[in-house]
Amino acid sequence: MIDEQQVEVPRRGRPPVSDRQRRRLRLDISRHAVRLFAEHGVTATSGEQIARAAGVSERTLWRYFRSKESCVEPLLAKAIDAFRAVLRAWPADQELTEHLRDTYTPVLDSASDADLEAVLAVVRMTRAEPALRAAYLMLWERSEDTFAEVLADRAGTSPDSVEIRVQAAAMSAVLKVATDHLAHVTTGGVTREALRRHREDVTSAVDVVFRGLSTG
């Protein structure tokens, strides 16, 4: 008699998508969405067009994104991820401002010039596209949780403490304002000097807000 519990039933359908594959697909869709938004405008761009450009079905698109405007989030998140990575690497015996001057870059992989240009293009579009701006502001609000976790881990306290939440909110505000300014001054293209000034803007603002935070 065959033990039914020992019989392996072959799986049907597509194999499960790993987290890494999911992130890569979302980022790829995001790049295509931003390009189409820049070329045709948000209103004139449909989810079907984004899906076609990315080489996926429209059903897949809506499985990964709640709206066409939210398609910009993976690219915008690269700016937040870059700053979070810098915070995580902040040496215990070094001033935060010194660390920022040495290591901060607007995107996680500094060689990805196209992604940086795309991020800044989205920031510029948010001024005239309310739905896009809503997605942009929501992402910055979420960044506070991300920064709070890193700061709390460094301080050995709860990410829900008032002090940590205030620090995280201020840090998010600094990065958003500096990123908005970078987008404004680079309409003709990103230059090394613009990036240097952006890094200095972030560093100076952080210094003003976090004078008592530098060594943890």
Which amino acid is present at 181?
H
What CATH class is the domain 73-209?
mainly alpha
Which amino acid is present at 20?
R
What CATH class is the domain 19-71?
mainly alpha
CB contact burial 125-147 (16+ within 10 A = b; e otherwise): bbeebeebbebbeebbeebbebb
Domain with CATH 1.10.10.60 in the chain: 19-71
Check: CB of residue 97 under 8 Å from CB of residue 207.
Answer: yes
pLDDT of residue 6: 47
pLDDT of residue 14: 57
pLDDT of residue 4: 44
Domain with CATH 1.10.357.10 in the chain: 73-209
Residue-level pLDDT, tens digit, the chain, 216 residues: 444 444 444 555 555 668 889 999 999 999 999 999 999 999 999 999 999 999 999 999 999 999 999 999 999 998 898 899 999 999 989 988 999 999 998 876 644 678 899 999 999 999 999 989 999 999 999 999 999 999 999 999 999 999 999 999 999 999 999 999 999 999 999 999 999 999 999 999 999 887 755 444
- Strand, helix or coil at 59? helix
